[in-house]
Structures are given as structure tokens and as C-alpha cells.
């Protein structure tokens, strides 16, 4: 309805009762209006508001950054776990006869290919089974005038390639004839190439040492294949960046600086798994047996395996499958426990525990910082309402209800938190960059939408909570006293 503003009657008036207002409820200040007033208040006290927001900004950004770091590490660990075959993988390792079975030591045969055959025949749940024979002492490799020791030298059956997810990028895999004749051939990882023939970064070109001779504990072998280079997402990115930089320098006619620092074995989390794969030397199991074991004076009558790795089809039934494997093995070994199981479940549980702990402690720090931020907001809102006692009195005199004032103060404190939260989200990128710069990790932090939403939600909640007390206080102020206040 429209208001009839009083016009000035020239003379003789008989104005009836002024038209009454429509029945609108008081206490219905539009929220948009309150938000605008809140933003203006913040703008009017820029410096003060900025200081107040700092706690929220830090809280939100540290929450997001922390969660990004943990997520990055978790991703790295899971990536590494997948790279070596995932959860479905089970490993049996030869071990010494346990103390209580020492008297049976003579009867222990160790793990043999007969075990592999028995398991293959007896347990259909096994998808892949791959035996490996290693040297008892890490062998010394020599080629190109350089030496290198690696514990990842093994004699294998072709299945090993599948279970370890190896890919031959250069040359070829050994074939049945190589195996049957126990030929001195081997495949190497790029890490071995790096050590013996030089890294591409050092030599300037990628050496592919196919056909070259490498001795293993003095015995000459021909390198017939090289695996692809295994690396995590993060490492690949860094390597490609370095490569691009090098190309750029070359194109400008300058000599790129020699790459410094070893690219191997930081030993940290994920990259370790890739390092192991890159430092592998494989030869046919039969070659290993004939050239390194069979000739020895105390040689066993048949090849002794160092480990058997297998992959089950159905991870959800791994417990049953494991116990069946165990039964067959126990029968084969006449009850002597000269083998042990390893699964990656332990590792997986470790990752989970680590992630949980990191989240908890990071969340606690961020929570404290948000809490402090909340106290800051409450403090500033209390200061603000005592500065605005008169304003509140005026607003009430012209018809603001307690609820209107309550909502206004609450919205103002929430607006501070929302603005602080948004700044915090923006700032979290830089916090992440800062942390990775100060303490580089092998894993790229991953800022997730979930973490951002959670942190922002917390910030808004803190703003709301912090506003309640000042808002109640302002809403309850006495009109007359507020109007008299100077």
C-alpha cells in the first residue's frame, strides 16, 4: 500500500485518521540488509577488522593446508603400494627354522618350485604366483668401469614381471630358450643403468645399454632388456621440469649445469617403492640356479627360492585363501615353518593410522587457531556494540525489535568470519607452497574441495558462535539508557 504523505492543507482541514500501515511483523529486517550493514561496518574499520580476521584466516588456511599435505602423503603411499602390486599381493619369504623346531632343521628343504606347483594346482583363488631366487649376499655389479651393489638381483619366472608390474621398454624379456639353457642374460632397471652407465641428466643422452656386458659377482651377463623408468607423479613432474629447463638452456647455447644430488633412495615413503623397482636386475631362475647355486659344495638338490609372491583374485576372501595356502605349505614342508607370510595389509593399516594421526594433530592446531579467531571476533563485536550503544538505542527507538538487533550483530560477526574464511581459503594455497618450499616432500599436497568446505564451515560456525553473546547483549540493551549514552 502506498503512504499518503501529509500534504499541507491550505485551510480548513478535516483529515481523518492517517491511514494505518499494513500489518507487517516487526523483527523482519531483511537479511540482505543486515549483511550490507555488516560489510559496511567491516569496511568502516578496515584495520581492526583485518586484525580480527587474521585468526580465522590462519585457522582456515592451516586447516586446508594441513589436510592437503596429509592427502598428498596418503596419495603418495597408496600410489607406491599400487606400484608394487597392491593389497591383493601376498609374499612368502624363506626364513630360518624357528627355535622350537631347531631339532628338525635337517629336514627343512626350504621353499622350492614344488611348493609353487602345489599351490598352483591346489588353490584356484591364486591369480598369479611368482617365485624368485636371490643371492644370499647382495651381489656386486660391474660394467663400464663402474661398480654397484644391489639387493634386488633375482632369478625369476616370467610371472614375476606381471606381479611386480614391470614393463620392458627397451630390448626384450628373456625367453624359454634363455631359461632352459641358463643363458647369462639379464634385464635391468633404469636405476642400475644410471649407476653404471650414467644418468641421462649427466650424460646428456639416454644410454640404453642393450647388448653391453655387465658382470654379476664376476660372471659376465649380457643386458638384453631395460625396464621403463618408474616414478611417482611428483617425481615425474619435477624431472620433466628439469628436462625442459635443460633444453631451454641448450637452445640458448648455454651449457646446462650438471644435475646435482642423487635421484635415488630418499627412502621416504612412496619414492622408495619406485627406487626399488628401478634398481632391479632380473635373470631367468634357471640361470640363477645354475650359475650361482648349483655349483656350490653345499648346494641343495633343487633350486631354493628366496620368496614366492602371489596375488589372490578376491581380496575380500584373502583370509581363507591365506589359510589354505598355509595348509598346503605346511604339508609340503612336513610341518616345518621355514617360511613366513607378508601381506600389505599391515602397510595399508600403517598408512591409515598415519593419516588419522596427522589429521588429528593438524586439525587440533587449526581448531585452536579458529577458536582463538572466534575469541577475537567476540572481542571485537563487544567493542563494536559498546561503541554503538547510541546507534542501537536510535534503531530501537525507531522500531527495531530485539530480534532485529540480535540478527544484525550476529550477521556482522558471521560476515567477519565469512570474509576471513574466504581469505583463508585463498591464502591456503600460499601456505601449502610455503610449507613445501621450507620442507619439500616427495608428495604433492592435494587441496581437496572437502577440506575447503569443512574449514569454511568451521569458520562460519565460529563466527556465529562468537556473535551470540554480543548479539544477546545488544538486543537486551535498554532503549532509554542507550539513547542517553554519550
Partner 1 sequence: MPAADIDTAMALLELRNVSKIYHLGGEEIRALDDVSLDLEQGEFVSIIGPSGSGKSTLMHILGCLDSPTRGNVTLAGTEIARASARELARVRNRTIGFVFQFFNLLPKLNVLQNVELPMIYAGIGGRERRERAGKALEMVELGHRLKNRPNQLSGGQQQRVAIARALVNNPKIILADEPTGNLDTHTGELILSLFRRLAAEGRTVILVTHNPEIAAVTPRQIEIRNGRIAHQVDARLAGLDRSGGGDLPPSAP
User: Interface mask (CB under 8 A) for partner 1, residues 25-44, using x and -?
Assistant: xxxxxx--x------x---x
C-alpha cell belonging to residue 54:
587474521
Show Cβ contacts of residue 468 under 8 Å, excluding neighbours closer than 6 positions: 410
Question: How many residues interact with partner 1 (rule CB under 8 A)?
Answer: 45
Question: Which of 87, 233, 479, 485 touches partner 1 by CB under 8 A?
Answer: 479
- Could you tell me the smallest distance in angstroms from the CB atom of residue 402 to partner 1? 6
**Binding range to partner 1, per CB under 8 A, among 20-28, 138-146, 150-158, 216-224:** 20-28
- Could you tell me the smallest distance in angstroms from the CB atom of residue 401 to partner 1? 4
**Binding range to partner 1, per CB under 8 A, among 13-21, 100-108, 197-205, 211-219:** 13-21
- Reference 415, options 427, 423, 404, 405; nearest CA is 423
Rounded to whole angstroms, the Cα distance separating 82 from 344 reads 10
Choose between 183 and 395: whose C-beta lies nearer to partner 1. Answer: 395
Choose between 35 and 446: whose C-beta lies nearer to partner 1. Answer: 35
- Reference 71, options 356, 306, 312; nearest CA is 356
- Could you tell me the smallest distance in angstroms from the CB atom of residue 41 to partner 1? 9
Choose between 199 and 396: whose C-beta lies nearer to partner 1. Answer: 396
The cell 646428456 sits on which residue? 204
- Could you tell me the smallest distance in angstroms from the CB atom of residue 479 to partner 1? 5
- Could you tell me the smallest distance in angstroms from the CB atom of residue 381 to partner 1? 17
338, 108 contact by CB (below 8 A): yes
- Could you tell me the smallest distance in angstroms from the CB atom of residue 436 to partner 1? 45
- Reference 291, options 222, 224, 219; nearest CA is 219
- Could you tell me the smallest distance in angstroms from the CB atom of residue 392 to partner 1? 10
139, 177 contact by CB (below 8 A): no
**Binding range to partner 1, per CB under 8 A, among 7-15, 70-78, 343-351, 449-457:** 7-15
Choose between 340 and 480: whose C-beta lies nearer to partner 1. Answer: 480
Strands 140-143 and 213-216: antiparallel
Q: Does 17 bind partner 1 (CB under 8 A)?
A: yes
C-alpha cell belonging to residue 246:
635443460
Choose between 2 and 260: whose C-beta lies nearer to partner 1. Answer: 2
Question: Which of 12, 253, 301, 449 touches partner 1 by CB under 8 A?
Answer: 12
Rounded to whole angstroms, the Cα distance separating 309 from 412 reads 63
Sign of dihedral through CA atoms 124, 125, 130, 136?
negative
User: Interface mask (CB under 8 A) for partner 1, residues 44-63, using x and -?
Assistant: x-------------------
Choose between 194 and 404: whose C-beta lies nearer to partner 1. Answer: 404
Q: What are the Cα distances from residue 162, in Å, to 156, 169, 348?
A: 11, 14, 21
Q: What are the Cα distances from residue 459, in Å, to 144, 432, 435?
A: 62, 19, 22
- Could you tell me the smallest distance in angstroms from the CB atom of residue 467 to partner 1? 20
Q: How many residues comprise the chain?
A: 486
Choose between 25 and 449: whose C-beta lies nearer to partner 1. Answer: 25
Rounded to whole angstroms, the Cα distance separating 317 from 436 reads 41
Binders of partner 1 among residues 184 to 203 (CB under 8 A) are none
332, 338 contact by CB (below 8 A): no
User: Interface mask (CB under 8 A) for partner 1, residues 389-418, using x and -?
Assistant: -xx-xxxxxxxxxxxx--------------
The cell 583370509 sits on which residue? 319
- CA count, 13 A, side-chain hemisphere, 144: 15
Binding site for partner 1 (CB under 8 A): 2-6, 8-9, 11-21, 24-30, 33, 40, 44, 390-391, 393-404, 479-480, 483
Amino acid at each position: 500500500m502506498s503512504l499518503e504523505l501529509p500534504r499541507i492543507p491550505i485551510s480548513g482541514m478535516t483529515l481523518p485518521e492517517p491511514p494505518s500501515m499494513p500489518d507487517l511483523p516487526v523483527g523482519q529486517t531483511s537479511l540482505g540488509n543486515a549483511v550490507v550493514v555488516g560489510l559496511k561496518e567491516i569496511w568502516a574499520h578496515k584495520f581492526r577488522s583485518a586484525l580480527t580476521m587474521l585468526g580465522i584466516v590462519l585457522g582456515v588456511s592451516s586447516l586446508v593446508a594441513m589436510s592437503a599435505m596429509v592427502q598428498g602423503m596418503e596419495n603418495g603411499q597408496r600410489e607406491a603400494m599400487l606400484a608394487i602390486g597392491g593389497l591383493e599381493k601376498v609374499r612368502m619369504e624363506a626364513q630360518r627354522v624357528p627355535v622350537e623346531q631347531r631339532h628338525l632343521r635337517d629336514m627343512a628343504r626350504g621353499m622350492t618350485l614344488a611348493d609353487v606347483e602345489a599351490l598352483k594346482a591346489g588353490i584356484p583363488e591364486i591369480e598369479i604366483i611368482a617365485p624368485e631366487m636371490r643371492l644370499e649376499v647382495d651381489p656386486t655389479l660391474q660394467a663400464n668401469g663402474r661398480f654397484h651393489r644391489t639387493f634386488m638381483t633375482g632369478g625369476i619366472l616370467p610371472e614375476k614381471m606381471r606381479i611386480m608390474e614391470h614393463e620392458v621398454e627397451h630390448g626384450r624379456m628373456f625367453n624359454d630358450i634363455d631359461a632352459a639353457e641358463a643363458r647369462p642374460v639379464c634385464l635391468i632397471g633404469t636405476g642400475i643403468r644410471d649407476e653404471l652407465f650414467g644418468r641421462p641428466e649427466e650424460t646428456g643422452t639416454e644410454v640404453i645399454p642393450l647388448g653391453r656386458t655387465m658382470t654379476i659377482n664376476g660372471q659376465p651377463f649380457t643386458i638384453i632388456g631395460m625396464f621403463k623408468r618408474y616414478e611417482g607423479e611428483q617425481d615425474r613432474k619435477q624431472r620433466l621440469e628439469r628436462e625442459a629447463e635443460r633444453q631451454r638452456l641448450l637452445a640458448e647455447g648455454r651449457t646446462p649445469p650438471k644435475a646435482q644430488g642423487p635421484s635415488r633412495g630418499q627412502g621416504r615413503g612412496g619414492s622408495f617403492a619406485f627406487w626399488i623397482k628401478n634398481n632391479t636386475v632380473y635373470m631367468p631362475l634357471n640361470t640363477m640356479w645354475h650359475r650361482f647355486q648349483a655349483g656350490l659344495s653345499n648346494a641343495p638338490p633343487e633350486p631354493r627360492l628366496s620368496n614366492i609372491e602371489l596375488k589372490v583374485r578376491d581380496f575380500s576372501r584373502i583370509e581363507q585363501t591365506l589359510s589354505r595356502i598355509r595348509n598346503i605349505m605346511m604339508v609340503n614342508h612336513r610341518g616345518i615353518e621355514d617360511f613366513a607370510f607378508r601381506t600389505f595389509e599391515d602397510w595399508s593399516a600403517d598408512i591409515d593410522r598415519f593419516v588419522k594421526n596427522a589429521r588429528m594433530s593438524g586439525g587440533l592446531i587449526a581448531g585452536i587457531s579458529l577458536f582463538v579467531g572466534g575469541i577475537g571476533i567476540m572481542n571485537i563485536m563487544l567493542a563494536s556494540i559498546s561503541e554503538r550503544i547510541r546507534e542501537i538505542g536510535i534503531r530501537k527507538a525507531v522500531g527495531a525489535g530485539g530480534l532485529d538487533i540480535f540478527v544484525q550483530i550476529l550477521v556482522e560477526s558471521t560476515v567477519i568470519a565469512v570474509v576471513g574464511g574466504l581469505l583463508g581459503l585463498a591464502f591456503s594455497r600460499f601456505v601449502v607452497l610455503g610449507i613445501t618450499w621450507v620442507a619439500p616432500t616427495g608428495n604433492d599436497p592435494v587441496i581437496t574441495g572437502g577440506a575447503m568446505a569443512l574449514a569454511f564451515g568451521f569458520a562460519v560456525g565460529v563466527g556465529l558462535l562468537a556473535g551470540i553473546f554480543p548479539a544477546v547483549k545488544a538486543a537486551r540493551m535498554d532503549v532509554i539508557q542507550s539513547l542517553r549514552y554519550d
